[in-house]
Structure 1
Amino acid sequence: MIKNILRIIVALVFLASGFVKAVDVVGFSFKLEEYFSPSVFNIPFLEKQALLLAVIVVAFELIFGFFLLLKSHLKFTLTALIALCVFFAFLTFYSAYFNVVTDCGCFGDALKMEPWQSFWKDIILLVALLILYFLYKNEFNNLEEKTNFKKYLSAFAFMTMVFVINWGITHEPVIDFRDYKIGTDLNVEKQKIAKNPSDFKTFYSLKNKKTGEILEVNQDDYVSDKKYWAEGSPWEIEEGKTTSKLTKQGYESEIAKFHPETADGVDLTEEILKAPKAILIFSYDPKNANINVLAQAEAKLSLQRDAYILGVSTSPTTFKTINNATMDGTAIKTIARSNPFVLTLKNGKIIDKRSAEDYIKQKK
């Protein structure tokens, strides 16, 4: 009884984790790109394969999570899930210990987890899987009952998985867990951020020239205590070791990074959010964007006479017939899963979002 309950709980965790990544597999691929980037594992050739690898990992989680739920191919299923947990535990430990990836993307945008939380989650799952392996080892060679119900359920689950993943790649996620979901009022979010900002403090690494002792002191304590800076003080600030740390977590929202700017550095945020209607076309990677799709989307946008039109990308020369603005590529990726992508706002509220290809096909 206990082992069945544990098996079902673990299976549901893998299915939940796989599902939230499946609905936004492009977003998960962005997270893998972070791991493959020069600042982390420095495997640049895998960055181009991030989407394919994301699909493989998501399918792996869903298929074997489903097998575990149905108690199917138990030995192979448990072995595969243990291997997956070891792999993820390594990634999350690395990102936590070296503080290189702040969110592993284990549960997509549905549930944000800090690196150490992700690591311990993987360890708990790994322990649970090892316990299940031990508890079920005497049943590994038992003949599995194959019923029509299992066959139909497996076929339905597989087709659902393919549909959800494909829809998220070619259109938008079936369920949107992001801060930029339809219905979000960016003006309201900006106000919440302003009312409850996060606080950061500067920390100095100080070294005592006489004793060699090293201290980390925050900016307030440093200024208030003369022993650290008065004439003749043995303490000196170590170059290159000054850090900024979060001391109070305020209201969190990716919308804090929404700051389209002109080539001259003029912030267009307020202008966009105050417009009765604004249609923005984004491209986080203009060099690899489909030129024909860009041209067709621009042509359609140019016909909009009652809206504020703007092209936002990482380059100030991406768009040829509409005004250009620039924004950080990572910030654009939190909004756009397609390259290019169209976002429609009404008085700062998101009323529509779709890939540029879908926007072109839209009749109205």
Structure 2
Amino acid sequence: MKHILRILIALVFIASGFVKAVDAIGFSFKLEEYFSPTVFNMPFFEKQALPIAIFVVVIELVFGFMLLLRMRLKLTLTVLIALCVFFAFLTFYSAYFNVVTDCGCFGDAIKFTPWQSFWKDIILLVGLLILWMLYRNELNQPEEKSSFKKYASAFAFLTMVFVINWGISHEPLIDFRHYKIGTDLNAEKAKIAKNPSEYKTFYSLKNEKTGEVLDVNQDEYVNKEEYWKEGSPWKIEEGKTTSKIVKQGYESEIAKFKPETAEGMDLTEEILQAPKAVLVFSYDPKNADKDLIAKTEAKVKNLKDATVFGISTDPNTFTQIQNGMMDGTAIKTIARSNPFVLTLQNGKITDKLSAKDYLKK
């Protein structure tokens, strides 16, 4: 019983660590949300998000693997319990205050709501505490030397370093995102149009006589004369009108793919209908390598058979090819490199490379 529980919990930590190791930059973006002014207001840590992300991933993988092999059990359980307490606090805070909508626990592979993430952390924490009780008589026993454990640990460590480094230097080895190679953006947009999410406006109404406050959607407000007729005690509270989803439609990050000119002209259809389109993206042009951008522009501008655009958050990023603009967060969902090159054929993604790798082609 205790061995099965230990293996299951270890595999959860290894799986969680692995999908974040594959895309450490993506996990660092999630940490930036936590450190932002609207959440914990820790701007210094925003700049250190990637090193912190790597540290968390290493902790999860190393100690998850140690738990699997039952190595240094007391230290391993102590660290994993502390990690669960820390993440339970983060997920509870984001769920209760509705500030981070996805914890990034399993990267882009499995999406959890904040409350789902919180209860997942609580279940893991309870499981670890049970393991502590079940193994309490073995926690201080001398570690058995094993060649298998030594070589397995070395192999796992080298694999972890390779996977993390590849994802940072190039692009993630495994692409869990909606923009993976082979995705047809036209087909995805058609699914979104066929089954869109529906939203309604909700008014916060306060009764000036009783002080009662109601949250009323737009239809209720129109249909009930008592809320708006002359002399009604119900008044709309300024600044508290919200838009809420009432029907969840087809979900896809492709909905955010809306490049446009600085003047606001939509470029989406031109790009998706082109036989071939090559797009150079930069989500943070101020901190991107200017020489690398220039060399990438020089290469793509000579493509005779392709529609070419440079797309970033600044209308003056590119000097040799036509500029387009898109939200920085939306660009980050496509690829992690800054800059990177996306190739489409009739709206279908056929290639996605960091600019450095594209120049080596």
Cα-to-partner distance string for 1:7-48 (whole Å, 9 max, x where unaligned): 111000000000010101110000001111111111111111
Alpha-carbon distance in structure 1 between the residues aligned to 2:335 and 2:35: 21
Partner of 1:139: 138
Amino acid at match of 2:34: Y
Give the alignment of 1:141-156 within 5 angstroms: 141-156=140-155
In the alignment, which residue of structure 2 is the partner of 1:201?
A: 200
1:359 partner amino acid? Y
Matches within 5 A, 1:248-267: 248-267=247-266
Q: Superposed, which structure 2 residues align to 1:260-275 within 5 Å?
A: 260-275=259-274
Counterpart for residue 279 of structure 2: 280
CA–CA separation in structure 2 for the residues paired with 1:50 and 1:204: 38
* Worse-superposed segment, 246-255 or 141-150: 141-150
CA apart distance, 1:144: 2.0
Instruction: State the distance in 1 between where 2:13 and 2:133 align.
Output: 19
Within 5 A, what are the aligned runs for 1:341-360? Answer: 341-360=340-359
Deviations 1:257-303 (A, max 9, x none): 00001011001000000000000000000000001100110010111
Equivalent in the alignment of 1:86:
85
Taking the aligned partners of 1:124 and 1:201, their CA distance within structure 2 comes to 35
Deviations 1:197-230 (A, max 9, x none): 1111111111001100111111111111101001
AA aligned to 1:128 is: G
**Matching residue's letter, 1:262:** T
- The CA deviation string for residues 83-103 of structure 1, in whole angstroms up to 9 with x for no partner, is 001110111111111111100
In 2: Cα distance, 1:5 partner to 1:276 partner: 54
Q: Which runs of 5+ in 2 are unaligned?
A: none
Give the aligned partner of residue 30 of structure 1. Answer: 29
Alpha-carbon distance between aligned partners in 2 of 1:86 and 1:281, rounded to the nearest angstrom? 42
What residue is the counterpart of 2:288 in the other structure?
289
Q: Match of 2:82, as an amino acid?
A: A
Runs (5+) with no aligned partner, structure 1: none
Distance, in Å, in 1 between the alignment partners of 2:303 and 2:102 is: 39
Paired position in structure 2 for 1:183: 182
Identity across matched positions, percent:
75
**What is the deviation of 1:145?**
1.6
**Cα deviation 1:217-248 (Å, max 9, x = unaligned):** 11111111101001111100111111111111
Structural mapping, 1:124-135, within 5 Å:
124-135=123-134
Please provide the CA RMSD for this pair: 0.6
- Measure, in 2, the Cα distance between the counterparts of 1:13 and 1:143: 26
Question: What is the rounded CA distance, in whole Å, between the counterparts of 1:140 and 1:129 in structure 2?
Answer: 13
Structure 1 segments of 4+ aligned residues over 3 angstroms from their partners: none
* Partner of residue 12, structure 2: 13
Matched residues in 2 for 1:11 and 1:336: separation? 30
The separation in 1 between residues aligned to 2:249 and 2:107, in whole angstroms, is 21
* TM-score, normalised via structure 2 length: 0.99
1:134-157 per-position Cα deviation (integer Å, ceiling 9, x unaligned): 111110122222211111111110
Deviation at 1:116, TM superposition (A): 0.6
Give the number of equivalent residue pairs.
Answer: 361
| Structure 2 counterpart SS, 1:82 | helix
1:242 aligns with 2:246: no
Residues in 1 aligned to 2:32 and 2:223: alpha-carbon distance in whole angstroms: 44
Q: Distance in 2 between matches of 1:27 and 1:226?
A: 50
- 1:100 correspondence with 2:92: no
The aligned amino acid for 1:114 is T
SS in structure 1 opposite 2:202? strand
Secondary structure of the corresponding residue to residue 116 of structure 1 = helix
Map of 1:59 onto structure 2: 58
| SS of structure 1 residue aligned to 2:145 | coil
Distance (whole Å) between structure 2 residues aligned to residue 90 and residue 164 of structure 1 = 28
The one-letter code sitting in structure 2 at the alignment partner of 1:333 is K
TM-score by length of 1: 0.98
- Code of the residue aligned with 1:139 in structure 2: it is E
Partner of 2:121: 122
